[in-house]
Each structure stands twice: as structure tokens, then as C-alpha cells.
Structure 1
């Protein structure tokens, strides 16, 4: 069974990452969600990556704050796509998380999305777009979602637009 793996560095990330899980559920995309830390539980993280790949994980989403380097640890342990969601918090309010997620060495790519809720939702969409390459049904659902969003913009505009 193909699925998306969501890994959070700590329980405090759950309120934001629930938005990622909810987005996947909206499209009926299977996912696993666990807490595992690159620094506090590195053996658990490495073991989970291998087990998830065997079970069918196609994309990994990693959420961590401060300078926690979870997405990089995942990228080092898999050749599957890794999407990093930097979390706000700490003395630098997420800037350290953003930098530790986006600044990866050559050959260890991590796709990095925005901080917070928008990042969590976009991580789900990006994971689905990746999976949609080989899943026509999912690709169609994503296209239909884009059409709905486009129509909503036009409707919102008609309510307020002034055109000469």
C-alpha cells in the first residue's frame, strides 16, 4: 500500500501537522504519523525509515523546530522524496528551523515548504503531487481541487471588483 509518512520531532508539532494529515485525508491518501527525533531518538528514526519503505512509504514529510535536523536525517536515510516543514518556536521563532531544513548538502535534497499551517498543508499537497505522477486517480483529484480554488477566486473577485 502506497502512503505518505509524516514524522514530527516532538508532540508540540502535532497541532500544526494535523493540518497535513487532514489534507491527506480529504483526498483519501493513506498516511502514517509518528513522533521521532533526529537527535533524541536517532536509532528509532533510522529504523522507522527502513520499516516505512518496506511497507510502501512513497514520500516522507518531516516537521521539526529550532535547529532540529529531522528532514536532513530522513534524507540521509532514504532515496525517497523528503519534504521538510520547519516549525516556528524557540529564540529565533523558526528561522533556525528554516535554515537547517533548506541548507542541505549536494546530493541530499529536502524540499522545504513554509513555516506553520500553510507549510503543513503544502507539504501534503506536494506529497500528493509526487504520488500523482504514478496515480492517475489522485492526479485527477488534485486537478479538480485546483479548478474549485480557481472558481472561488473568481467568485470572491466578483463580490468586490470594480472594473472601468
Structure 2
């Protein structure tokens, strides 16, 4: 059972979103990683949301560039948390995708992360934190990862 669904609007988004799926796997969070489009395959998108939700999916992560309607389309179909990762895909440097992702109407929120790979990684961390609210083992893995971050900084500081 996938706990998290990671949707990309295009296969060309894979290099930016692969870190999200890799981090979820590293944290022990099952995920589906696939392409679906708010505009080109709206029926597939709606079907995926419905099927995954019925199978127990708890969080949806959606990444898209340009008009970036994927997260909003998914938010319209579920009350589960939807996290949006705006992607740089135009001469606007991702600002178009950022605004499309963050400017949702009341009642259909999308938790919007940073652009591209940083946003992809933080979407994975946030999805894991949401799931960890009811999964003590995952919460311990998250705490251990944070402890390692702390140790890495302290080790780096000691080398100066």
C-alpha cells in the first residue's frame, strides 16, 4: 500500500522529483511515483486519486511547471493533504508555477514547497512528518535523521 503518491505533470520532471521518491524510500515510506497531467490526462489523475485514496494513500505530492495546475486538480478530488512542488519550466524562472501552486481558493489548500529539487526533498520530509503523527516507528526514524544532521554540523564545525 502506498502511503504517499508522487505525481509529476511530465516525464521531463523526473530528474527534479526523483530525490523525493528516493528520500521517501530511505525513510521507509511506501510511495507511488508516476506521471499524470491535470490538462492532458484529467481522467487518469482523478482515477489515480480515487484508487490510491481507497487503498490508504495518506498524502499526495504534486509537481508541475508552467500553469502548474496538477496540485490544485488533486486537491479538488481529495481531503487528504496535498503538497505542491512548483517546477522551473519557463522563462519566468518558476514564478508562474509557484503562484499557480500557492494561490488556491479557500477550502482547497495545497501546502506549497520550494522550487525544484529542494522542494522535492522537503515535500518528502513533510509527507513523512504527516504520516509520523500516527506512526511512532517513522517518527523515530525522522528523529534519528535529524540527530544525524546535528552531528554532521558539529563534526564540520570541529574540523575548522
* TM-score (structure 1 length as normaliser): 0.95
SS in 1 for 2:58: strand
In structure 2, list runs of 5 or more residues that go unmatched.
none
Q: Measure how far apart 1:91 and its partner are.
A: 2.0
The 2-side partners of 1:15 and 1:2 are apart by: 21
Residue 17 of structure 2 aligns with which residue?
Answer: 17
Residues 10-159 of structure 1: matches in 2 within 5 Å?
10-159=10-159
- Give me the TM-score of the superposition, normalised by structure 2: 0.97
Q: CA RMSD in A?
A: 0.9
- Residue 77 of structure 1: SS of its match in structure 2? coil
Counterpart secondary structure, 2:106: coil
Query: C-alpha deviations, 1:79-100, integer Å up to 9, x for none?
Result: 0000000001212121100000
Q: Secondary structure at the match of 2:34?
A: strand
Paired residues of 2:60 and 2:80 also in contact (CA < 8 A): yes
Displacement of 1:154: 1.1
1:68, distance to aligned residue in structure 2 (A): 2.2
- Gapped regions of structure 1 (runs ≥ 5): none
Q: In structure 2, how many angstroms separate the alpha carbons of the residues matched to 1:128 and 1:8?
A: 19
CA contact (8 A) 1:83 1:111 kept: yes
Bigger Rg, which one: 1
After TM superposition, the runs of 4+ consecutive aligned structure 1 residues lying more than 2 A away are none
